[in-house]
Chains A and B, each alone.
Chain A
Amino acid sequence: MNVAYFPGCSAHAMAREYDRSARMVCNDLGVNLEEVTDWNCCGATAAHCLDHELMLGLGGRNLATVHRMGFDKVVTPCSGCFNQLKTTGFELKSSKTPRRDIPRVMHLLQFLTEEIGLDRLADLVVRPVRRLKVAAYYGCLITRPRKIAEFDDPEQPSSMDRILTSIGARTVKWSHKAECCGGGFAASETSIVIDLAGQVLEAARQAGAEAIVAACPVCQLNLDSRQKSIEEERGTIYGLPVIYFTQLIALAFGHPVRKTGLRRLMVSALPLLERTGLV
């Protein structure tokens, strides 16, 4: 099965391991992710913050390309891109002159849960990630705002928990599943990220998680790369690896650690994986 795939800018650098593990997992599931031809940046936080028309233009070009490629849906691994493309599609479809060439936008998490299904995922598991106790972290934009996202429960999402359970992990119940990590302010107003990502890490620690599992490059970056500063700020050592959900699936499907990109995390996941017998 061929599916249109919108990787987003992070997939080329910061989140390359997310992109690669996503492709690996989909490949195993018989899904070929076909990159949207000559895609452009969705505009990220900046476009919708400063220029609404520009956001619609940037998103509209990508959606039109997907349609021209002959696909009726497009999958993206990034929550930011998901929200931007989805909002653009929503507005273009509901404008006074509604566009009919708008493909359905799906987050990768949604695609795996709704179109592939947990049974098919579980079938391919050769190395269940048992003994791993993790906090599934969804962040803001996978499920919010509900009328745009049209996926999962905005307050208590469960899709990632179900995926992780199907590959053998245990997930904790916690309060900050869908709270904000500080988003795009890591560089421009770092204190906000230290504050909000700190609250997420603290909640995961209190719930007894040994790692956080993410489904967005921005969430992952804020929780992972700022963790040391947060530890200094709060005077608590968290040591919580922040792993992409596709990396854990790839591990469960039997791919070696080297290929899953787990070594690229700033807070190393290797001690935890050794302790739980996964390496």
Chain B
Amino acid sequence: MDSDYRPMRLDEIDDSLQKEIRKNCGVDVETCMECGKCSGGCSNGHVFDYTPRKVVQLVKLNAEDILMNMDALWICLSCHLCSDRCPSGIDTARILDYMRQKAHRQGLTTRPKIRLFHELMLSSVQRSGRISELPLLLKYNWMTRQYMKDAEIGLRMLLKGKLTPYAPGVKDNEHIRRLFAGSTVERTGGKP
């Protein structure tokens, strides 16, 4: 064995991110036993750069830079399998939500299209209190310059009456607007 070898000591590592997550999400990563059930079950883990088990370890290692810039933040499906199966009760999906929101506030994303879709959805809710699927999809295609994306499926759905140009909105729209005041969507106006 290399004579310089020395096991990593977590007690020597800055634990500020760990504390931040405990405080803001009520999630304690200290109990992780690295069994890997979260990663084994993860619906999209096969295409993640960092699987849920690694995410928990990165929190312990205070590796905020990696967490904020990883692709997994944006392609996590929020299926909650990791959180549900964790024998130690660690809500990893909540950690991913928290880090994604933090990255979003700093304008970071590895998947601009996914983020744009989320933002367009929320700006639809901001405007009318509900989501109108057809205008949302058309706007998304327009803004990503994929004018013909899903045109065939869209047309078939339109003929089946599954897409309607207009959905009734919320009457008390003032209340909805108040909810959006100060939100990340309010600041960007739905435009990334």
Known contacts A9-B130, A14-B133, A187-B140: A58-B179 contact under CB 8 Å: yes
Confirm or deny: A115 has a beta carbon within 8 angstroms of a beta carbon on chain B: no
* Chain B residues with CB under 8 A of A61: 175-176, 179
Residues B105-139 near A (CB distance < 8 A):
111, 113-119, 121-122, 124-125, 129-134, 137
Within 8 Å by CB of A180, from B79, B140, B172, lies B79
Nearest A-chain residue to B97, judged by Cβ: A48
Chain B 66-94 interface 0/1 with A at a Cβ cutoff of 8 Å (1 = within): 00000000010111110110000001010
Count, A-B residue pairs, CB within 8 A: 163
Within 8 Å by CB of A13, from B150, B163, B184, lies B163
Nearest B-chain residue to A148, judged by Cβ: B80
Confirm or deny: B191 has a beta carbon within 8 angstroms of a beta carbon on chain A: no
Question: How far, in angstroms, from A199 to B122 measured CA to CA in the complex?
Answer: 30
Known contacts A187-B137, A188-B140: A51-B184 contact under CB 8 Å: yes
Interface residues on A, range: 35 or more
Inter-subunit contact A192/B129 (CB<8 Å): no
Chain A 7-41 interface 0/1 with B at a Cβ cutoff of 8 Å (1 = within): 00110111010000000000000000000001111
* Chain B residues with CB under 8 A of A69: none
Question: How far, in angstroms, from A264 to B160 measured CA to CA in the complex?
Answer: 6
Inter-subunit contact B125/A40 (CB<8 Å): yes
Nearest A-chain residue to B160, judged by Cβ: A264
Binding site for A on B (CB under 8 A): 43-44, 47, 75, 77-81, 83-84, 91, 93, 97-98, 100-101, 104, 111, 113-119, 121-122, 124-125, 129-134, 137, 140, 149-150, 153, 156-157, 160-164, 167-168, 170-172, 175-176, 179-180, 183-185
Q: List 25 A-B contacts (CB under 8 A).
A: A12-B130, A12-B167, A13-B134, A13-B161, A40-B125, A40-B176, A44-B131, A45-B118, A46-B122, A47-B122, A49-B101, A49-B118, A50-B101, A54-B179, A61-B175, A83-B80, A144-B81, A145-B80, A180-B44, A180-B77, A182-B77, A183-B77, A183-B79, A184-B117, A196-B44
